[in-house]
């Protein structure tokens, strides 16, 4: 597999990121009241980040016949959910992180109370935003409900939060390969898969197509988290915006910890190869998604 | 105004509470995985409570022509949102409460991390549950989206969370009557109003009717919080399940603190009288709602 990401895909991701940032800025206006709450929500939401999840949502929606604009409320909502999960993960009672993306974490910048509430408010606003899709006559109301339900499931006790709990419970314990896979698939994979599925479901794709997109999402979701694990071991602190080697120090279960660095890279590559293979069966314009799949693990070299 | 609650309404509320508890128990099965997460979600959700919000949702839906069953997913979802807000409010970084409803609070019983995540998971599950209404062919998809959007707005930065932030910011400060009203209307009133509106919107009531129900909700929402303030000053600890006089100790802004006990009671009574007056304009079977309005402040004597 080609290990360097296609430069065109980097440009496309930057373009999408620009679009998404504009929408996020609009949906959470600086003048919002109470001031401190909006300030905290915006501080974490507009702190950068690759905007990978919303980009996946927009690209899958486009592959299924919608425009970026059609899927934008869901794309922005998913980024809000991702951001809330980071704010809560960073709290002293959880990972107790002082920095995120090179900036003080929310509870360091504001207070623990404000950080908890800013996270809660982002999660809540996300669902309000998804519902706003109903203003778009092109999208069936039923599809909005199905897509929002998928996002809720993927973010909740059977998805991301379930993974986060198992992550906390696994700290400083020897975990099995099976538990590690569960953890990664839930903590990170579920929302990545849901980002793709939201776009596909909004477009009203049929069961066969949806199923293939889901498989694609599951593969790249796991590959993404393995690449993240690898970056934490082998990455450059400046690039990460946080301390490298933090996972090992915190006794976190990781792929390099359980499989070694080289085998972890091989597993991630295989997942991306399989994901791209699945895309070929969809017979839609999925070239960009296939490039994003490659981009996801290009960070791990 | 008659100050004692009608005994029949107590029986009705108990009956509704029983129905709601059954549904909550079913939606969050004991066998859910990860175990500790489901245990914590169930611990707080099934710890009792008056189930006032879901009861209001069911009664308004019924007044507008739906059955209790039709509105049940929203009623249960709203109770989940209420419970999540209590779990997060009780955290050390917020109100730092050790007891709730006579039992140790979630972070005392489990851990801060589990309490934060159990709250997050309840909020997320609530939206999943609301979306499940789409399985009911009697209810228009559009109405589900409008109702869910209302609940999201009422729970978020422009509603409950907004009120909670202002509450924290007002601690140990002298607040104006206007700020106190904002605080109560947002922290407590918004979700109570949304409970009623969800039932009304699911039923597809017209603008005039919706508007009247909203006014009714706003009145009893504020009356409810004033009654709560009064209870904290004048209430019986055993009945409260938590220490009385806690608000004053924490330097919280309250109606008795700003208006005195008797004037607070008078304001609450006037709100309920006005609320009942509004109901008469609706010309639907709202007798039970009017009894619930009286019940809400009967606790304050």
CB A113 within 8 A of CB A39: no
**What is the radius of gyration, based on Cα positions, of chain B?**
18
What whole-number distance in Å separates Cα of residue B275 and Cα of residue B269? 10
Q: What is the pLDDT of residue A300?
A: 79
Burial degree of B99 (CB within 10 A; 0-12, 13-18, 19+): middle
Residues of A in contact with B107 (CB under 8 A): 93
| Angle made by CA atoms A60, A124, A153, in degrees to the nearest 5 | 50
CB A124 within 8 A of CB B157: yes
pLDDT of residue A60 exceeding 60, the answer is yes
What whole-number distance in Å separates Cα of residue B67 and Cα of residue B171? 43
Q: What percent of chain B has pLDDT over 90?
A: 83
How many other CB atoms are found less than 10 A from the CB of residue A113? 20
Burial degree of A176 (CB within 10 A; 0-12, 13-18, 19+): exposed
The beta-carbon neighbor of B32 closest among A131, A142, A157 is: A157
Specify the pairing of strand A103-104 against strand A99-100: antiparallel
Backbone phi and psi for residue A172, each to the nearest 5 degrees, phi listed first: 60, 20
Which of A47, A50, A71 minimizes the C-alpha distance to A59? A71
Specify the pairing of strand A99-100 against strand B99-100: unpaired
- Helical segments of chain A, H only: 7-27, 35-45, 52-63, 68-90, 106-109, 112-131, 141-155, 160-170, 177-184, 190-202, 207-234, 237-240, 246-249, 255-259, 261-282, 287-298
Buried b / exposed e over A196-210, threshold 16 CB at 10 Å, is: bbbbbbbbbbeeebb
| Residue A200 structure tokens | 């596909």
Residues of A in contact with B119 (CB under 8 A): 120
What whole-number distance in Å separates Cα of residue B281 and Cα of residue B283? 6
Residue A127, chain B, CB below 8 Å: the answer is yes
Smallest CA–CA distance, residue A145 to chain B, in Å, is 6
Contact B125/A152, CB-based, under 8 Å? yes
What whole-number distance in Å separates Cα of residue A151 and Cα of residue B148? 14
Contact B34/A119, CB-based, under 8 Å? no
Residue A51, chain B, CB below 8 Å: the answer is no
What whole-number distance in Å separates Cα of residue A50 and Cα of residue A301? 17
Contact A124/B149, CB-based, under 8 Å? no
Q: What is the pLDDT of residue B244?
A: 61
* Residues in CB range of B53: below 8 A, 6 or more apart: B75, B78, B79, B82, B191, B192, B195
Residue B250, chain A, CB below 8 Å: the answer is no
Q: Which domains does chain A have, with CATH numbers?
A: 7-298 (1.10.600.10)
Contact B148/A169, CB-based, under 8 Å? no
Averaged over B87-116, what is the pLDDT?
Answer: 96
Residue B161, chain A, CB below 8 Å: the answer is yes
The beta-carbon neighbor of B123 closest among A32, A124, A132 is: A124
State the pLDDT confidence band at A54, using cuts at 50, 70 and 90. very high
CB B61 within 8 A of CB B213: no
pLDDT, tens digit, for every residue of B149-186?
Answer: 999 999 999 999 999 999 999 888 889 999 999 999 99
**Higher model confidence: residue A140 or residue A49?**
A140
pLDDT of residue B39 exceeding 80, the answer is yes
State the pLDDT confidence band at B255, using cuts at 50, 70 and 90. very high
- Locus of tokens 């599951």: A218
For residue A81, what is the nearest residue in chain B, using CA coordinates?
B124
Q: What is the pLDDT of residue B101?
A: 87
pLDDT, tens digit, for every residue of A219-237?
Answer: 999 999 999 999 988 876 5
pTM for the full predicted model: 0.95
Residues of A in contact with B169 (CB under 8 A): 34, 36
For residue B134, give the DSSP letter: G
Residue B192, chain A, CB below 8 Å: the answer is no
pLDDT of residue B246 exceeding 90, the answer is no
SS (H, E, C) A22-62: HHHHHHCCCCCCCHHHHHHHHHHHCCCCCCHHHHHHHHHHH
Residue A153, CB half-sphere, CA atoms under 13 Å: how many? 13
| Angle made by CA atoms B276, B279, B281, in degrees to the nearest 5 | 125
pLDDT of residue B6 exceeding 70, the answer is yes
Length of chain B: 301
What whole-number distance in Å separates Cα of residue A43 and Cα of residue A30? 10
Averaged over A6-13, what is the pLDDT?
Answer: 90
For residue B119, what is the nearest residue in chain A, using CA coordinates?
A120
pLDDT of residue B237 exceeding 60, the answer is no
Residue A36, chain B, CB below 8 Å: the answer is yes
The beta-carbon neighbor of B157 closest among A88, A121, A155 is: A121
Contact B141/A141, CB-based, under 8 Å? yes
Q: Which of A73, A131, A136 would best serve as a mutation to test chain B binding (most B beta carbons within 10 A)?
A: A131
The beta-carbon neighbor of B165 closest among A36, A88, A148 is: A36
Contact A161/B41, CB-based, under 8 Å? no
What whole-number distance in Å separates Cα of residue A52 and Cα of residue B76? 34
pLDDT of residue B4 exceeding 70, the answer is no
Least confident of A116-120, A242-246, B162-166, B260-264: A242-246
């Amino acid at each position: 597999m080609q290990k360097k990401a296609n430069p065109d895909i980097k440009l496309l991701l930057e373009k999408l990121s620009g679009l998404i940032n504009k929408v996020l800025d609009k949906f959470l206006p600086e003048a919002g009241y109470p001031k401190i709450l909006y300030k905290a929500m915006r501080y974490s939401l507009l702190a950068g980040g690759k905007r990978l999840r919303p980009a996946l949502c927009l690209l899958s929606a486009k592959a299924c016949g919608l425009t970026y604009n059609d899927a934008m409320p869901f794309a922005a909502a998913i980024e809000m959910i991702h951001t809330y999960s980071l704010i809560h993960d960073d709290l002293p009672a959880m990972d107790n992180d002082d920095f995120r993306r090179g900036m003080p974490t929310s509870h360091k910048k504001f207070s623990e109370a404000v950080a908890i509430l800013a996270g809660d408010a982002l999660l809540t606003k996300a669902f309000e935003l998804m519902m706003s899709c109903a203003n778009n006559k092109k999208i069936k109301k039923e599809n909005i409900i199905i897509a929002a339900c998928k996002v809720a499931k993927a973010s909740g006790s059977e998805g991301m939060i379930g993974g986060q709990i198992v992550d906390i419970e696994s700290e400083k314990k020897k975990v099995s390969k099976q538990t590690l896979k569960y953890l990664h698939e839930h903590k990170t994979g579920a929302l990545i898969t849901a980002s793709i599925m939201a776009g596909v479901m909004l477009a009203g794709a049929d069961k066969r197509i949806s199923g293939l997109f889901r498989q694609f999402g599951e593969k790249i979701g796991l590959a993404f988290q393995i690449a993240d694990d690898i970056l934490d071991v082998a990455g450059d602190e400046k690039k990460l915006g946080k301390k490298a080697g933090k996972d090992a120090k915190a006794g976190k279960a990781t792929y390099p910890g359980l499989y070694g660095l080289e085998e972890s890279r091989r597993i991630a590559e295989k997942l991306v190869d399989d994901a791209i293979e699945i895309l070929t069966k969809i017979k839609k314009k999925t070239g960009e998604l296939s490039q994003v799949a490659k981009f996801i693990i290009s960070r791990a070299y």
